[in-house]
Amino acid sequence: MFQNNETGVIQPIKEIASIVHKANDGSLFHTDAVQAVGHTRIDVKDLGVDMLSASAHKFNGPKGTGFLYVKDGCKISPFIKGGGQERNMRSGTENVAGIYAMAKALEENTNELDYNHHKIQVIEDKLLSELKKNNIAFVLNAKDSARATGVINLSFVNVDGEGLLHMLDIHDIAVSVGSACNSNDKEPSYVLLAMGVPKEQINSAIRISIGKYNTIEDVDKLVSCIVKFYNITNYVS
């Protein structure tokens, strides 16, 4: 995983790929770059990866589309056999509209990387400063690690993360607890557990994702809702 989808922590993919290939030059190294593509400058040759996967909805493209980069000379088996489409790798009618929309979304995001990064960083800084200003006791999980801008994992003192999630959902604010790709799993986040985060801190954690279409007004609404829930919870407790 290029950057963790729960905490935003950036993984040393180039170094890992080098270690794998030095240990066995016949090994193939694949990286799940779903969180990074369209948000981070990526050079597959510099990284030294053999394969890299991406999903369009992560960079404002259509859901259900994605792509797999495969290095020249890397042999893989066909995903679907049949008519021989996509160089005999994935037979069946191609989703031309989805492919085009994905490519266009990736092009737009790549061309606006610096602008989007700055905008999202301003919004993230605003969120954290407003929480502090309102005396909300929280912990930014993975604060001491290199993180991707716009992926924030926060634990709030004496707050049930899932309860906060449902309250925010009522106000049309979407956050997640744990991995959004595994929303039916009620077990504590294995990512935070592996980081050594205490269980009570994990249970109070939510993940907030900020995108290029978010605004300062969105932050004001989010903070207002968190403050109300936090004050009610801590008053009762």
Q: How many CA atoms lie within 13 A of 104 on its CB side?
A: 8
Query: Cα(218)–Cα(220) distance, rounded to whole angstroms?
Result: 5
- Strands 51-55 and 30-32, by their bridges, are parallel
Inter-residue contact 211 to 124 (CB < 8 Å): no
Of 162, 237, 169, 177, which Cα lies nearest the Cα of 208?
177
Of the residues 68, 76, 146, 181, only one is catalytic, namely 181
- The number of angstroms, rounded, from the C-alpha of 158 to the middle of its chain's C-alpha atoms is 26
CA distance to 13, 92, 98, 129, 208, per residue, from 151 (Å): 19, 36, 26, 16, 6
- Strand spans (E) along the chain: 30-32, 51-55, 66-70, 138-140, 151-156, 205-209
Inter-residue contact 205 to 155 (CB < 8 Å): yes
Does residue 181 have an active-site annotation? yes
Query: Cα(48)–Cα(38) distance, rounded to whole angstroms?
Result: 19
Instruction: Name the residues annotated as catalytic.
Output: 181
